[in-house]
Structure 1
Amino acid sequence: MQSPAIGERECNASPLMRSVDAMQRIGSRRLGPVLVHPAAGLAWWLVPLGADVGLAGLRAITVRTAPWELHCPPASEYMNGLGWLEKPDGSGTLTDPAVLGAEFGPSGPPRLRVPAFA
């Protein structure tokens, strides 16, 4: 299955582990599909068309727009090193770019102070 950056969505690549942390904070009710390639350490978030405007300046996110294509496996399969960490469910739900930007933006997610681990 191909999921090119056309129509109603775009694709944004980010580091896998930072994406997993962000997904936990965002919560499954607000997540759109997230494709991962564990060996490459990458995750791709599907976001609404036009999200590149608000996300392009974030260093942790690589914005991909048409004609770049992301070759995706079916939702229930893991193929060629790719699998869905958050599967597409047919609802058309995409991750809100404002929420994604808050997680990957300059201020980033909330962090514990180092002494909290002592």
Structure 2
Amino acid sequence: MTGHKTAVDWLASVAPDPDACRWEWERNPLGVVLLPAGKAWDVLILPGGLGLPTLDVLIRVLDRPGPVLVDFGDHRAGFFVPPGTAARWLGTGIRTAGPGTWIVVPHPGRATRGVRWLVPPDGSGTLTDPALLELAMHEAAAGPAGGRRGGG
């Protein structure tokens, strides 16, 4: 359970009032809070059809990617990346959350309805490298390796 406590502390550290954030998290029946992006992380939000395969690629090449959220129905996946990424990101169909934006964040230690963690934070501050994320997106968009080799 200490891993969850550490993850809660890491996430809550960006809130205007971390203690109030933790209090709200414990009492909100949905198990979610709004947190500002752009302080400890930015979030790149990919359509689910690209985000989930991209996560599969990242999991094959990394010991542990940074935190990844998914919305209800798996329509969008949010990858936590270093602050400043949103301001520099150019990509069609990719939404960004950086300074001045807020995101819905579920409690990392509880099951929630709606937004949930595919890769929960571990409290260490690990984030996904945006260059590696971009490469993984290209590989995911190209489809499975077996499909590319086909019957030529």
Give structure 1 regions of 4+ aligned residues with deviation exceeding 6 angstroms: none
Residue 46 of structure 2 contacts residue 78 of structure 2 at CA under 8 Å; is this kept in 1? Answer: yes
**Partner of residue 150 from structure 2, selected from 99, 115, 118:** 115
After TM superposition, the score normalised by the length of structure 1 is 0.80
Deviation at 1:38, TM superposition (A): 3.4
| Residues 71, 115 of structure 2: 8 Å contact kept | yes
Check if 1:29 corresponds to 2:43.
no
Q: Distance in 2 between matches of 1:102 and 1:30?
A: 16
The letter for the 2-side match of 1:29 is D
* 1:43 maps to 2:51: no
* TM-score computed with the length of structure 2 as normaliser: 0.64
SS at match of 1:72: strand
- Could you say which structure has the larger radius of gyration? 2
**Following the alignment from structure 2 to structure 1, what is the Cα–Cα distance between the partners of residues 87 and 133?**
13
Aligned position for 2:50:
18
Superposed CA deviations along residues 42-98 of structure 1, whole A, max 9, x for unmatched, are 1111110111244x2111421111211012111122334010000001010000011
Mapped partners of 2:72, 2:118: distance in 1: 10
Counting matched residue pairs gives: 113
For the 8 Å contact 1:32–1:46, the answer to whether it is kept is: yes
State the Cα distance separating 1:35 from its structure 2 match: 0.6
Q: Secondary structure at the match of 1:12?
A: strand
The two structures, once aligned, show a CA RMSD in angstroms of: 2.3
Cα 1:30–1:99, aligned 2, differ >3 Å: closer, same or farther? farther
Q: Give 2:111's aligned amino acid.
A: Y
Q: For 1:41, give the aligned amino acid.
A: H
Q: Distance in 2 between matches of 1:40 and 1:19?
A: 9
SS in 1 for 2:102: coil
Once residues 93 and 64 of structure 2 are traced to their aligned partners in structure 1, the CA distance between those partners, rounded to angstroms, is 20
User: Identity percentage over the alignment?
Assistant: 28
Tell me, in whole angstroms, the C-alpha distance in 1 between the residues paired with 2:53 and 2:127: 18
Match of 1:65 in 2: 98
